[in-house]
Amino acid sequence: MSPNLKAGISDRFFGYHLVTAADLDVPVATGGSIAPHLGLEWWPDYSWALRAGYDGVENSPTAGATWIYQFYEFDYAYIYNAGGLGDRHQISMLLKF
């Protein structure tokens, strides 16, 4: 695993309901290539969100959702054809206390 530098920017619009983000993975060692990441997240209310993006490492579109209930946070992420090995699904749960 080679080291890299990550630089990015993010901002919120429309009363914090829309979040945009962009970042770059820049390899420190020789032989790597710069990989961009782009994302958009929409929070219609405080308890759930939908997101879409692009993963430059996997060269794939991505999508996801978040649902927050009391001190639980459930996240789902989807990456299309991750690394040519097929679709990837990730599910996580956070406990906030």
Domain that holds residue 21: 4-95
DSSP state of 85: S
Q: Can you tell me the distance from the alpha carbon of 78 to that of 65, in angstroms, rounded to the nearest whole number?
A: 9
Name the E strands within 14-80. 18-27, 35-45, 48-55, 60-69, 72-79
Q: Tell me how many domains the chain contains.
A: 1
Which residues on neighbouring strands pair with residue 7, listed in sequence order? 24
Q: One digit per residue, pLDDT tens: the chain, 97 residues?
A: 778 899 999 999 998 899 999 999 998 877 778 889 999 999 999 899 999 999 888 788 999 999 999 999 999 999 888 667 788 899 999 998 8
CA angle 48, 78, 42 (to 5 degrees): 30
CA distance 67 to 35: 29
